[in-house]
Structure 1
């Protein structure tokens, strides 16, 4: 159990920076709930001894370490205002310890009263109901500064979105628009260059045609002159 909690704790710390607080808390609550329900159902079925209860218990510890044991304290100190963060944090941790003490003291009496299988099913059901509450009411604070979180809860910020992410999105949007403008300018330049090349080719073809016409006129003129000279020489001979 100790090794499972140690490895899962390291993995949980890495996941906090990847997927955020809310998805990780939902994975933890749903995983714990399903593991407890599977364990309680197996105990109710009175099946022969197998490895299934061990797997269910280890998965319960793993999912609980993934979120239940780590995220509440982190979220607590992120959401409390700066002025009363220390005081409220101490009160909350004290209440948490009192609740853990009460659950541990009541567990033997509840086990004798309703049975270990029913207690396990109650734990699983409570965890699944808690996941519904987390889905609707747990704020996502990944990537936010403490000032941004406090401004949101003081109604000075419309959405719980990091200003750095907004600026980065604006910069990326600006760069993309600049790239579009550059591409449009390049396409216009290419079209202009093509039209200029076409006009130059047309002018060159026209000049070549004019040159050929001039050469043909000169040739015709020379032919006429040669014909005139031959006719004049014939007349002189006659």
Structure 2
């Protein structure tokens, strides 16, 4: 019997492990810098006035549609579609990775929001890190890992695919969040890094648990008595 494909391709374990570590440090550094703040920082002001909800049609419609993909209903639709794709592709471990990565990214972002206490538009609106960005990027990275493994990509091509996918997904959702005035740019960066920190770790743990639970192939033939 063929062993199930790993969630984290072996060639990417080292590079993505290092990226996950760096992303964790970035999440912590930004959180410490803006803990308890309710105003945009200097870095935020370099890009845009994050307190202004000034995007106009047709871009506002695009931003709202993108934002919907991070809302509960849209996120559920995306997750179901991703899981169905994994199962049709005969990658059950990939399906588990998608669900676990998305759930943990949202959970981690929610926990960090309460720990950091950064706000936007009033004390009740916790903003760091962006949960929408964390979710959308996590889903994209999990899918990219599945494709890289399925296509048998080497370290260079596989890493390029994963990082490019993460960048596109994070930029798209991050732009929508900032354009709609829901988050500061540094909130978006924090959410992006949450996904980069979590997904490789989840994939590595999933492979370890699954491999321990999979029985080793043995020769079932028994010797005939003399």
Q: Same fold (TM over 0.5)?
A: no
Structure 2 length-normalised TM? 0.27
Structure 1 length-normalised TM? 0.26
Point out the structure with max Rg over C-alpha: 1
More relative contact order, 1 or 2 (CA 8 Å, 6+ apart): 2
